[in-house]
Structure 1
């Protein structure tokens, strides 16, 4: 394969991995971890299809790739954009089975799209003199179960102190903090220290925050 084909195939492997991790988090009802994977998947997928639409496909048109093939791939991209928007707006904790079903359909569609793309375009990629696609956006830490820290019942500032003590001990390990309410003052402190985070309300009235290294 050409350098561009290799980059694109690595992009698709990255997207498949992120989607698989999102499905796994949903199956375990780990909603902060799920949201972190969906945010990462959305960013990576939009980056990938923007490169193809704006840089790659115009070159393929110049080389004579079938217009119908490229139109079908652009239709796929429009579908991906709608799916990303829908996933970002959904509340999966209220319908876990429906969420998992939608993700599995998206995984099947994503694999089929990659095969269509390889058949229609990749054999032409070594004839294109354009820059390869940019690296995929960084993904959350994969394969590492978050440390769970239940901080309900504590008085301020102890919950925030406990969170940073845990992060100092294991800065590369995700941390899932369970609090009585959303900890708005915590967010600026996490940003200052180079951590990313996602939060979600709990059905019992509490609030979970998944904290990961940026």
Structure 2
């Protein structure tokens, strides 16, 4: 069974690869492909957030007592990314290439920074502080 860090970092890569595919379709102005690929990226990213917010974060908070620390910051950033997804929906509906490219770039940069914090700080903390990390990975993998 992988560690929390290994499992979640691998899922970040899945999401990153979907974003690259979507951006490629956007660059070629294939709106149909872009909308479909973006939807897959967004769905997988929201699934990632759900694994964290519904499984990992509550377990971390319960076992450490830290509720105003890194998990609070990550939830706030998830909300910011959700707001960016809403902006992208409008760009796709209007087939606004410039706006969509700007949204995609902003989302990519924000997610890269977000993922670095998780991979370098939060996930190592979870692996170090949680006594049942294998059970948590199992819950997230079936979530």
Aligned 1:2-41 pairs, distance under 5 A: 2-41=2-41
Give the whole-Å Cα distance in 2 for the aligned partners of 1:94 and 1:121: 37
Task: Tell me the TM-score normalised to structure 1 length.
Answer: 0.57
Greater C-alpha Rg: 1
Q: Equivalent residue for 1:111?
A: 112
Which structure has more relative contact order (CA 8 Å, sep 6+)? It is 2
Give the whole-Å Cα distance in 1 for the aligned partners of 2:48 and 2:115: 12
Q: Equivalent residue for 1:102?
A: 103
Q: Per residue, is there more strand in 1 or in 2?
A: 1
- Equivalent residue of 2:136, what SS? coil
CA shift at 1:68, angstroms?
Answer: 2.7
Classify 1:27/1:135 alpha carbon distance in 2 versus 1 (closer, same or farther; 3 Å).
Answer: farther
Q: Per residue, is there more helix in 1 or in 2?
A: 2
What runs of 5+ residues in structure 2 fail to find an aligned partner? none
- RMSD in angstroms over aligned alpha carbons? 2.2
- Equivalent residue of 1:67, what SS? coil
Give the whole-Å Cα distance in 2 for the aligned partners of 1:53 and 1:15: 17
CA shift at 1:128, angstroms?
Answer: 4.4
- Equivalent residue of 1:29, what SS? coil
- Picking from 134, 138, 144, the partner of 2:141 is 134
Classify 1:87/1:99 alpha carbon distance in 2 versus 1 (closer, same or farther; 3 Å).
Answer: same
Give the whole-Å Cα distance in 2 for the aligned partners of 1:83 and 1:134: 26
CA shift at 1:120, angstroms?
Answer: 2.9
CA shift at 1:44, angstroms?
Answer: 0.4
CA shift at 1:64, angstroms?
Answer: 4.5
Task: Tell me the TM-score normalised to structure 2 length.
Answer: 0.82
Aligned 1:140-179 pairs, distance under 5 A: none
Classify 1:55/1:32 alpha carbon distance in 2 versus 1 (closer, same or farther; 3 Å).
Answer: same
What runs of 5+ residues in structure 1 fail to find an aligned partner? 137-214
Q: Equivalent residue for 2:86?
A: 85
Classify 1:94/1:35 alpha carbon distance in 2 versus 1 (closer, same or farther; 3 Å).
Answer: closer
